[in-house]
A and B are shown apart, each in its own frame.
Chain A
């Protein structure tokens, strides 16, 4: 939990947005005994889409699950590390990955249109913004 959010006066629009985003990243469910939040996530927004991205090298599609429910997206999966047959491991820096992480989605996305792509070891969730969340120009008529 970002404790700064408790003390920052919410008068500045950027602060409001930042606090809102930080709150979304508070883990909705804590996953087991691990205190680390894996995977790390980045979130980017374009005019009509919100992207959530995670680096998951070596995680296979069949070992990865992305679910969306009640405005929360959960990314879970695992990756084993192996030693090739009849070989010995001299150095091991890549660990076994076993993860589950949930984040709240921004209010302005269409959950039904969520797309998830796994490519080059990167998982990208594409969340289209709701139509009424996109900026629309309101024509002004002379009264």
Chain B
């Protein structure tokens, strides 16, 4: 059982339709950086906002398979042709994050935009899941 589901149920008291996976498959040496994300929800969609400085739209790959949304952001080694590193407090490398998404998300309608190193992914809910306002008519 993914411990992240527990975090979500604690917050909201119900099964969440979307949760980030913290455990990746065991890799020999994980070289990826885990982008910090915010997840928002309204009646129509979920929104994922991820900090991925150094990425551009064409360097980001988003895929969905088996209820898992995977985000990969390529970051080029911008120091390589620049010169000698004098001082380094942070490393640079590709970003990678995975999320488990529920059936309430219309995968074919997922869109994403990237600006100033921030990726925003919009995951619309399926029509049947969206809250509907029911009109009350007087008899």
Contacts and interface: CB of A to CB of B under 8 A. Distances in A.
Given A44-B86, A87-B47, A120-B56, A81 B118 contact: no
A51 interface: yes
Interface of B: 7-8, 11-12, 16, 18, 20, 36-43, 46-47, 49, 51-56, 79, 82-90, 116-118
Contact of B89 (A40, A47, A92): A40
Interface of A: 17, 21-22, 24-25, 37, 40-47, 49-51, 55-58, 60, 81, 83-84, 86-94, 118, 120-122
B18 A90 contact: yes
B55 A120 contact: yes
Interface of B is mostly: mixed
B88 A42 contact: yes
A7 B31 CA distance: 34
Contacts of B12: 90
Contact of A87 (B41, B53, B85): B41
26 contacts: A24-B87, A42-B85, A43-B87, A44-B82, A44-B86, A46-B83, A49-B83, A51-B83, A55-B90, A58-B51, A84-B40, A86-B42, A87-B47, A89-B40, A90-B16, A90-B18, A90-B40, A90-B41, A94-B36, A120-B53, A120-B54, A120-B56, A120-B117, A121-B53, A121-B117, A122-B117
